[in-house]
Amino acid sequence: MSVISTNIQMRKVIVSLVLFILCYSLKSQVGDSEQPNILWIVSEDNSPFFGCYGDEFATTPTFDKLAKEGILYENAFANAPVCAPARSTIITGMYPPSMGTQNMRSTYRTPESIKFFPEYLRKAGYYTSNNSKEDYNMIKPAGVWDESSKEAHYKNRKEGQPFFAIFNLTVSHESSIHKSIPNDKLRHDPAKVTLPPYHPDTPEMRHDWAQYYDKIEDLDGQVSEILIELEEAGLAENTIVGYYGDHGGVIARSKRFVYESGTHVPMIWRFPKKYEHLAPAKPNSKIDRLVSFVDLAPSVLSLVGVEIPTYMHGKAFLGNQDTTPREYVHLFRGRMDERIDMVRAVRDKKFRYIKNYMPHRIYGQYIEYLWRAPSCKSWEDAFKAGECNEAQSAFWNQKPPEELYDVTLDPWEVNNLAGDSKYTEVLERMRKETNRWMTEIRDTGLMPEGEMSTKNSTQYSFDFAHSNAYRIPEILKAANVATLRDRSNLRELKEFMEHENATVRYWGATGCLILGMEADSAKNNLLKLLKDQNADVRITAAEALCNIGKSDLAIPVLIEALSNENLMVRVHALNSLEIIGGEVAKSSLPAVKKVIGQRKGREYDIRAGKRLIEFYE
């Protein structure tokens, strides 16, 4: 063979080899870029009561198996300890206090620039289905889901279309303990329940805990059915599975409270071999990284290759847009149903700091829905009978301005370290972080809800809170001073009550309300506020005056507020009247009956009004 022929043959071999490499490379790239399906399983109202989280009393073979096949997150948190605000966080990737959606079951509008994250998935070609709870705590825009109903399912998509499918499971919801199952029908023995140190040992308490573990076992079975269905459909190898509980729960002092029991949630992610490159660790791993619900939306977008919007507060912890781990997770509580409260908290890997902005309200404010559980009523009865120790009695007393817990040594959070000088540095660090975060997100919770809901007619104005008109530094300073319960701050509180900004005046009056009788020297300032243009300021001043023996002047203001067209102003007045109690509350009953008699349904003013009548008639 000639040299020329040999060279030609060599060239043919080289070209063939190059073509083979190019084709293989292109094939690999297509395979690597193929969008994964995402199956998202959500359970309601449960802390990590699973065997894979070390709970030996739990019966959870499915979750335990899922954890072995996947990645278990040891430090996953709901940013809010109740469903609607928590889901508001998830669907937007933003902190609700920045949007005005932190109070339970609000319907405020957000700007068009803030999208519900499934919209981005739809634009990327995904079939999005939600079965079936929404409860976003805000007005839902159009175009979020291809299907959101009890029949919604990934099987309804076009052939070959990638899917993002949510299945919400309600079997573990708080309502599951409202009706007691007979002891002999329970699968978990009430006598073997290990009670938290803050719960009294009552038969009802043991029963509700045992019944709840039965519901967790039922949940495990439902998750098994969903995973089997995925396997039988031949989709398991193309689908990333994510599971989490939507907040802690459900026995009193868990759901609705920013403790570990209300915010620490189970979270497990399983990646098929095809998508291991998107996973943060190998199967059967446990990760102690701090993650929270605000991080879920950007993490899903990261998994499917969609660029994360810059407005999102959350940070991706999965996929190609993974970020540096957080040092803190931020937590919040607003109004829960008919009871007004405000709490902010921050958690690192060792400590939890809690700032109570309404320390004059007890932890265990009566909430009609919470009291449906026999365990809650038995706890209250035990306290009234003098049968509770210090840790068990704390729930029925006013709150301290600040709380600090070492969750590694005190997982049930009963030993408040805020007053311990050994932890001063930790306290100051976490207090500073809370203030930084509240300022950064423009925390709207500093406004009383009655005021907030009057912005922009009857709908909350996002633009207002994120403009210079919302004077967050002055307001936050006033709120922090007011909540210290320190009589030496009276001079500053009086200055706040003279301020041109209504929210600053509100916190000045709140500071006097918190001080009680010690605010007597601010009487004239409070009297002046009875004529304030802001209804929440008037109500707060009236309640504070009742504390210092000036109820005769305050009663007309509170009764007038009961007929205010603003629902949250009425709820505020009803809360105040119940706390004041005595003859003041009794004198308001005709007006309360008139107001709730004109209304139907289960609005929060009706619930609070009925309780007031029941208690003081």
Share of the chain above pLDDT 90, in %: 89
Whether residue 338 is contained in a domain is answered as: no
Same domain, 21 and 39: no
Cα torsion angle, 111, 114, 116, 119, sign: positive
Look at residue 171 in the predicted model and tell me its pLDDT. Answer: 98
Active site residues: 83
Instruction: Evaluate whether residue 361 is within a structural domain.
Output: no
User: Considering 290, 324, 358, which residue would you say is the last residue of a domain?
Assistant: 324
The answer to the question of residue 344 being in a domain is no
132 and 2 in one domain? Answer: no
- pLDDT exceeds cutoff 50 at 29: no
Same domain for 177 and 225, yes or no, is yes
Share of the chain residues as helix, strand and coil, in percent rounded to the nearest 5: 50, 10, 40
Q: Is the pLDDT of residue 590 over 50?
A: yes
pLDDT in tens, 83-126: 999 999 999 999 999 999 999 998 877 888 999 999 999 999 99
| Same domain (yes/no): 12, 59 | no
Contacts 24+ apart (CB under 8 A), 189-192: 192/57
Can you give the residue range of the structural domain that contains 26? 1-32
Contacts (Cβ under 8 Å, ≥6 apart) of 7: none
Evaluate if residue 548 carries a pLDDT over 80: yes
604 is a domain residue = yes
Tokens 């499934």 locate to: 118
Q: What is the CATH number of the domain that holds 473?
A: 1.25.10.10
Number of domains in the chain: 3
Residues 6+ apart with CB under 8 A from 206: 190, 191, 193, 195
The answer to the question of residue 220 being in a domain is yes
For residue 49, give Cα distances in angstroms to 74, 267, 355.
Answer: 12, 12, 27
**What are 269-288's pLDDT values in tens digits?**
999 999 999 999 999 999 99
457: left (phi over 0), alpha (psi -120 to 50) or beta: left
| 283 and 260 within one domain | yes
Whichever domain contains 182, its CATH number is: 3.40.720.10
Say if residue 45 is in the same domain as residue 26: no
Residue 429 lies in a domain: no
* 166 inside domain: yes
Note the helical H segments in 40-148. Answer: 61-69, 83-92, 118-123
- Answer whether residue 455 shows pLDDT above 90: no
Give me 107's structure tokens: 């319907």
Tell me which of 268, 297, 324 is where a domain ends. 324
Residue 411 counted as domain residue: no
Q: How far, CA to CA in Å, does 405 sit from each of 239, 288, 350, 426, 483?
A: 39, 18, 8, 10, 19
> Using an 8 Å Cβ cutoff, are 512 and 522 in contact?
yes
Same domain, 13 and 124: no
Q: What is the mean pLDDT of the chain?
A: 93
Same domain membership, residue 40 and residue 24: no
What token pair was written down for 585? 């509350």
pLDDT digits 0-9 by tens, 161-188: 999 999 999 999 999 999 999 999 999 9
Whether 46 and 78 map to the same domain: the answer is yes
* End-to-end Cα distance, the chain: 114
> What pLDDT is attached to residue 460?
62
Q: What is the pLDDT of residues 503-542, one digit of tens each?
A: 999 999 999 999 999 999 999 999 999 999 999 999 999 9
Q: Which residues contact 306 (CB under 8 A, 6 or more apart)?
A: 120, 121, 123, 124
291 and 166 part of one domain: yes
d(CA 143, CA 125): 13
> Could you tell me if 17 and 159 lie in one domain?
no
Residues 80 and 26 both lie in one domain: no
Digit-coded pLDDT (tens) for 197-220: 999 999 999 999 999 999 999 999
Note whether 265 and 73 are within 8 A (CB).
Answer: no
Burial of 310 (0-12, 13-18, 19+ CB in 10 A): exposed
